[in-house]
Amino acid sequence: MLLNLHSYYSLRYGTMSLTELIEHIRTNGYDTAVLTDINNSSATLDFIRLCTDAGIRGLAGMEFRNDNQLLYVGIAKNEMGFKELNDLMTFANRYKSALPAIAPEFKNVFVIYPFGSISETNLKDNEYIGIRPHEVNKFIVAPKKYLERYIILQPVSFKRQDFQLHKQLRAIDNNILISQLEQMQVAREDEVFMSLTELNKTYSPVPKLIENTQHLLSECNFNFDFKTSKNRKTFTGNRYDDKQLLYKYAMDGFGRRYGADDKRAKERVLKELDIIDNLNFSSYFLITDDICRYARSRDFHYVGRGSGANSIVAYCLGITDVCPIELNLYFERFLNPKRKSPPDFDIDFSWRDRDEMYAYIFNRYQSEHTALMGAMGTFRDRSIIRELGKVYGLPKSEIDRLIQEPDNMLNKNEVTHTILSVYNQMADFPNQRTIHASGVLISDNPLTCYSALDYPPKGLPTVQFDMYVAEDIGFEKFDILSQRGIGHIKDCRELIRINKGVTIDTSTPKRFFTDPIIAEQLRSANTVGCFYIESPAMRQLISKLRCDNYLTLVAASSIIRPGVASSGMMQAYIERHLNPEKVEYIHPAFKEQLEDTYGIMVYQEDVMKIGHHFGGLDLAEADVLRRMMSGKYRNVNHLAEIEDRYHSNCREKGYPEHIAKEVWRQMQSFAGYSFNKAHSASFAVESYQSLFLKTYYPLEFMVSVLNNYGGFYSREVYINEARKAGGNICLPCVNKSVYDTSIEGNDIYLGFDCLLNLENKLAQLISEERKRNGDYSSLENFHLRTGAGLEQMIILIRSGAFRFLGAGKKELLWEAHLLLNKNRNTHLQVGQLFSTNAEKPQLPVFVTDELENLYDEIELMGFPVSGSIFDLAKSDYRGNADAKTLASSNGKIVRVVAHLVASKTVRTKNGSLMKFGTFIDHNGDFIDTVHFTQSLQKSPLRGKGLYLIEGKATVDYDCPAIEVHRCAMMPIKPDPRSV
């Protein structure tokens, strides 16, 4: 008779997880319960599933509120009633409207109003009034005509000891101090579980309420099918036509990819098509293919990856560019006879194109059946302390101290004790519903059959449950991702066409794999700006592996991942790759299955292979290991069962215990971090596409990187790369520059987007107006045509954007102040824009120090352009080594002067901190540094800037670095503008 349960998915209201709710339902003697989270159904189907597993009859409902005002509780009679509840909430979310005070005409929903909010004479046949325990006596004496219209309503929101936690959550939700909470903003303290015996005793004076409640529950039946797929079942309208269409498309693609005579490839295509049809996955492939066909029709560059990239059918369709035969991709990783869900396709688009792709998908597959995947943001770590600190009125300084110095004596007081006492309780509590980074659901039935829909700011419907619930109820998402690396490739091709008059095709990347010039570029780790292979760690790995081919890069793309690196297997891979004749296999199964990776598990497929061939697990169990590794599995108990079975199998096979444990340790270390081989191969393809463009068209490539605002490094580093490649880097110019960076021959003009405080509207307008009416001829002409105010004019003058006028900045600043005198009427007619010939005053001759320009550029853009940061150093000393000579100084103490451009902090096994630094020397070349704990404590890195570094040069597999002993920032010349 629990008709009104709130889980902690009643955000910032309830305090119990679904597991806790179910445990209390059982221990308090109930066999039926209704989850009625406030204004959402994000946890409903998960609740039903867990109840079924626990032998409890779980029912679906929803509590409807406008802000803090309880309107009514809806209880679904069946699955159709659940849809009605979701439809009502979805309508309110979509149109940002208040919920109706009186429930609509539901056909399959019981509605319960709070006592006193509605007259019994106004109730519809499906409507009741709920009586809470504290209202029983009041109800007994109240006049009533229709006793059958009243039922028990005992809300449950928290455990008895968690009322204070509930209040804290309510204060956070209302963004007020906990002392400011009003009665209507907080639940009653008795919204806790009562045992069934206690509940019956409470309502024994009015047994009719018990009878009515039992009757209402008996009318409800929620039998949700968790086993069948909820994705759109057909693409064409029936399975047979889907099969025929997929066969046609696949065979057309087979001819393009392999020609007509490749028997091995054809045999695999036909085998896959047969399994795809038998498992009823044809529609999933056809929908993915349809999305890719539209992208190609719009000339949108994309990359297909995910487990589906193991499929030769996907390769033939053009969903992926990875040949599974060439890479010996594990077919069972793609599909196996026990697999119930289709393979996973991730499609990466340029960040500029993804919104149009969303628009196509939502229009093509109907909004009622298409939605973004939801996600759940949680309270975590510091955010908990910050939120609690605010509701207790702590100033920011005290909150910061509590976070950064938890052991400080000033933290020892009643308020901070209260905050810290609930810290662990709130850890990982749901805080807000958000959007999954890329997932799209396309369903056969309307999505409100499964969830109410949210409408976040972008306006696209979003289901309220997350990817884990989606998988449990039978959904497979389509991952439509946004990636800036793809924007680099697409934009670079267009820049090459405009600047060089050459049309470039990157859609057939196989030819890049055998290009010796690209191979040398890769081997030298000259990869800054290239997708996935530009970070310091990846450049070092490429150097250590002496990587100059596609297959080695595929492996590198996976072994760089934390799981492989932290297990020690990355180091082992490097050693074995360089000395393959010294490889020793831990067991014959490793040589048989992993000879191409020297007996090391590099990919998710490798763990499946070893789990199956070495550990005796069947393919379904091995697939659970794969899902564990990708972070998509949450059944810890099932995982424990598989581990027990693995060790049992190893004992039966007679393996030494220490070997069985070591192999399991290696498999476990991959959890959540490793790639499948097809995924790594897809990344490597995109890396090669970027590398081809950087090798042959370095200037256009670096401009495209700058214009996509993405990459590991700051804009300054990419400009340095362009300069090293022969580019003439030009400051913004109102007669040359556009909004973003542009190129003419070897001249690269920085765009107005790089000026930190320039208004975006003006930044866009400058080139648009110039295109309409020609070049600007003077400050006055510019002002009259753009309406730029004095502050914006000053920014442009100081950035050098008016240098074509031949006057110095100081003269131009004087002129701008005179021009924009507050008393001057600047609202001239359009016809006067080009005809003003105001006399200019005679100004004294100003002297400008080049140092002033550098400081202007740093202030306005964040970095110097007309010089380098080395020009700011007081000393001309540049050390006794640089990037080019470091390798020859192996083991020696060196001193270098270099500019810090990136750093990474790492926690060691004993909990202390160390850092890896990335510097640029005076030649523009990279130097990598290692700062161990003791060195870091004595000589901390204090942010980007120019450093003098002293340390030991080390060379690890031909990759030089400096083990820093001490370092300090170099003194720089004072800013002459402030003198």
Domains annotated for the chain, with CATH where assigned, are 2-160+180-219 (3.20.20.140), 239-365 (no CATH), 370-476 (no CATH), 486-685 (no CATH), 727-861 (no CATH), 869-969 (2.40.50.140)
pLDDT of residue 629: 59
pLDDT at 347 over 60: yes
Amino acid code (one letter) for 176: I
Helices H / strands E in the chain, number of each: 38, 22
Give, as one character, the DSSP assignment of residue 2: E
pLDDT per residue over 706-741, tens digit each? 999 878 999 999 999 999 999 999 999 999 999 999
C-beta neighbour count of 519 within 10 angstroms = 18
pLDDT of residue 834: 44
**Ordered strands of the 728-730 beta sheet:** 728-730, 747-749, 742-744
pLDDT of residue 633: 57
Long-range contacts of 182-189 (CB under 8 A, 24+ apart): 184/68, 184/69, 185/68, 187/13, 187/155, 187/157, 187/158, 188/132, 188/134, 188/155, 189/163
What would the mean pLDDT of 519-523 be, rounded to a whole number? 97
What would the mean pLDDT of 888-896 be, rounded to a whole number? 96
Percent of the chain whose pLDDT exceeds 70: 94
Tell me whether residue 850 is exposed, middle or buried, using C-beta atoms within 10 angstroms of its C-beta: 0 to 12, 13 to 18, 19 or more. Answer: exposed
Of the ranges 224-228, 340-344, 515-519, 679-683, which one carries the lowest mean pLDDT score?
A: 340-344
pLDDT-derived band of residue 307, with 50, 70 and 90 as boundaries? confident
> The tokens of 241 are what?
């036509």
pLDDT at 837 over 60: no
pLDDT per residue over 525-537, tens digit each? 999 999 999 999 9
Give a three-class secondary structure readout of 864-931: CCCCCHHHHECCCCCECCCCCCCHHHCCCEEEEEEEEEEEEEEECCCCCEEEEEEEECCCCCEEEEEE
pLDDT-derived band of residue 578, with 50, 70 and 90 as boundaries? very high
Q: Coil, strand or helix: which one is 72? A: strand
pLDDT of residue 405: 78
Amino acid code (one letter) for 570: M
Sign of CA dihedral 844, 849, 854, 858: negative
What would the mean pLDDT of 652-658 be, rounded to a whole number? 93
pLDDT at 340 over 70: no
pLDDT at 484 over 90: no
pLDDT of residue 541: 96
d(CA 935, CA 914): 9
pLDDT per residue over 846-860, tens digit each? 777 889 999 999 999
